[in-house]
Amino acid sequence: MKKIILLIISICLLQGCSAKEHNLKFEVVQLYCFDKGTLSKEIIFTYKIFNNYEKDIKYIDAHVDVRDLFDKKLISYKILRKAFVEANNYKLFKSGKDVTFSEECSKLSDVNFEDLKIKFVVKQIAFEDNSVIKF
């Protein structure tokens, strides 16, 4: 019995077991490549963050992984840290990422939007009262 418990603890340490789940909802509104001309390209990313907490959010430490149906990572996108999302409300964000010297636009253009697998990974959230929760 001790060996089984030790094995479970070891697996949790190696794989990062966590009982906490964030209470945010993430929705992608737009994700596309924009040709700015003169060989310059930009990924336009518009998303909503729904704050389902009872407190206003000040900062979010998170990123988004975009993968295809074969689970191949196409792009990884850092989310804006200064979020300021009111309690039980949502906020729309729009950002651009210069990908002139990257293959990210061609990877993204090869996949239909509805076939993208989007994973919202939250590390920590800071609230307006300066309390912080980690995941």
Give residue limits of the domains in the chain: 22-134
Q: Which helix (H) or strand (E) holds 26?
A: strand 24-37
Model pLDDT, residue 19 = 53
Band of residue 21 on the pLDDT scale cut at 50, 70, 90: confident
User: Is residue 40 over pLDDT 80?
Assistant: yes
Closest CA to 89 of 28, 48, 119: 48
Are 96 and 41 in contact by the 8 Å Cβ rule? The answer is no
Are 74 and 106 in contact by the 8 Å Cβ rule? The answer is no
More confident residue, 121 or 11: 121
CB atoms within 10 A of CB 91: 15
pTM of the model: 0.77
State whether CATH 2.60.40 applies to domain 22-134. Answer: yes
The tens digit of pLDDT for each residue in 51-69 reads: 999 999 999 999 999 999 9
CB atoms within 10 A of CB 16: 7
